[in-house]
Structure 1
């Protein structure tokens, strides 16, 4: 199983950052490259169809802990050669008006596809998204 992880520190409350990240249909408002994000259903099992240029990714909400500020989603359809993809986003308060976000994922790859072929693109996308969130939540 392959794994990736990115993180970012924010000069903002965990509640403010979590409000953005917890909005399962709100990706287009802060994640670079997302042109449209449409949600079907509510709560666990809800899916979002994320349009990014010529590609579309369908993700399903697998876990949501509002009090613990974490959520997990799986990729159920998309262009990447991954299987059993599960990503988790966690927001942790680290001080007054300070917090830390971890965004990690694990996935299987088919024979012939190396982790090094996939991981850098995912880390770049997730890391870029967390950096793009900064000006939206920091005062």
Structure 2
């Protein structure tokens, strides 16, 4: 039987955060990479997602801004990303609900390279929702984040 691990609920112990970090480099500028991260239509071209749409607009009503919730579908999985920090050309931070993880937070850091390109550092951290599944979800997330970083880098280089 699977049990939901919500902090101290099950054993009175915190379930450790799982942390994942992947990277990729592209010849495109950090501004171009950032633009592609924000553009929902472009996301479908560089990622394995089949749906990326606004589920709930940002509180200020401005598209692609902090507070916007995006519904994203990849295979049989549907997640809801909330944009929480956006620094043009430098950083894209989001949280996720809908996946079997707690306290998910993803960060994409963009660093200019000496030749005018961009180094992409994509990281995430989360707590597994179910006891004993952290390693499994960490492996899957590492694979998916690397696909995202590599796809974004390759697509940005062609743009």
**TM-score for the superposition, normalised by structure 1:** 0.86
Alignment of 1:70 onto 2:85: no
Decide which structure has the larger Cα Rg and report it. Answer: 2
Match of 2:128 among 82, 106, 109: 109
- Gap regions ≥5 residues in structure 2: 1-16, 59-64
Partner of 1:53: 75
1:1-139 matches, within 5 Å, as: 1-23=17-39, 26-32=42-48, 34-39=49-54, 40-42=56-58, 43-66=65-88, 69-78=90-99, 81-110=100-129, 112-139=131-158
Shift of 1:135: 3.1
SS of the residue corresponding to residue 84 of structure 1 reads strand
- C-alpha RMSD of matched pairs (Å): 1.8
Give the direction of change, closer, same or farther, for the CA distance of 1:41–1:93 in structure 2 (3 Å limit).
Answer: same
- Gap regions ≥5 residues in structure 1: none
**TM-score for the superposition, normalised by structure 2:** 0.76
Structure 1's consecutive aligned runs of 4 or more residues displaced over 2 angstroms after TM superposition are: 22-27
Task: Provide the aligned length of Structure 1 versus Structure 2.
Answer: 135
